[in-house]
Amino acid sequence: MVGSVLLSARRSPIVPRNGAFAGLSIEEIAAPIVLAALNDAGLAVDEVDELIAANSLGAGGNPARITALHAGLPERVAGLTIDRQCVGGLDAILLADALVRSGRCDVVVAGGVESYSRMPLRFKTFSDARPPEQFEQAQFTPWPDRDPDMAQAANQLAVTLGISKAEQDAWAIASHQAARSAPVDHIVELLGVSNDPFTRGLNERHCARAPKVSGSISVANMSVAADGAAFVVVVSSQWAKERCAKGVDLLGGLTIGGNPEMPGLAPVEALNQTLSSLNICRGDLRSVEIMEAFAAQAIACVDGAGIDPVIVNNWGGSLARGHPIGASGAVLAVQLFHRIQVTGGLGMAAIAAAGGLGSAIALSL
């Protein structure tokens, strides 16, 4: 049976909104990452069959196509852009997996890119005489009363599960500490930035002073909006064998919908179903990357899926980097790819999205 292999994985620095990348277009952030990943894989641009990119805040069109052309990929590479909000970057890789397993493609570049800084203004229009209304968060359900603000949903999750502010702050502090000592050789330097500038020496005093957003949720224990990109090169196992190319096996994964009022819990079922479908025991996992849009959400996922926190986000998480929505899932995959080069064995990544979505992926070295 044909499987898929990740040959390489690269990402940009993750830079908070209106920072060093504020002047860059989506394709200017993404294209250097695509080319770095291809270079690591020993591939020329004309060997790429498809490029899949997740993007959630752009102006529409087909950013994947624009990125492919900007990177110098052949004109025959059509480019496919997807929007599943936060899970999109991971889902792009799962789509690449499906393409190579089906035999439709041999080489796919997949990931995500986001620019919060260059996010276009969006307006809701009406059929009556009311003027258009500007909005920032899109609608995620057809029911306004079941479409919560993300910070409010995270706070409700913390209340429901009894996750204290002290626990959330401690998780955030640990995330920054881990990120400060993490390797940066998988990060592509852009505009002179070679690491994640948001990472800092967060401590309890900072957390106590941090403005509250909703209940126990503060600016210290939630991710900041950010710009960034991450991409991997996915090839069929048959292609890798013929080329004597070594990489990381993509075992499988899935995306699942859950309760839109508790979006932070959706990755638990995605993790559990992926583990079950692949006959993986939790105790066999060597490294796990969990999205930290909110510390409460990360804690809930780790506890809910029964994962040992000692193996989670050992190089820091998005609390220490920032959250470039469409790219965040791909960032997790890049981190996992490089992390299991150190730990060996099995690893997983999982992420939640507004609307009650959860995605998970499993890799093996």
Q: State the SS3 of the chain.
A: CCCEEEEEEEECCCEECCCCCCCCCHHHHHHHHHHHHHHHHCCCHHHCCEEEEECCCCCCCCHHHHHHHHCCCCCCCCCEEECCHHHHHHHHHHHHHHHHHHCCCCEEEEEEEEECCCCCCEEECCCCCCCCEEECCCCCCCCHHHCCCHHHHHHHHHHHHCCCHHHHHHHHHHHHHHHHCCCCCCECCECCECCCCCCCCCCHHHHHHCCEEECCEECCCECCEEEEEEEEEEEEHHHHHHCCCCCEEEEEEEEEECCCCCHHHHHHHHHHHHHHHCCCCHHHEEEEEECCCEHHHHHHHHHHCCCCHHHECCCCCCCCCCECHHHHHHHHHHHHHHHHHHHCCEEEEEEEECCCEEEEEEEEC
- Residue 281 designated active-site: no
List the catalytic residue out of 176, 186, 323, 338. 323
List the catalytic residue out of 70, 86, 105, 186. 86
**What does the block give as tokens for 311?**
């193996």
- Residue 86 designated active-site: yes
Q: Would you please indicate which residues are annotated as catalytic (active-site) residues?
A: 86, 323
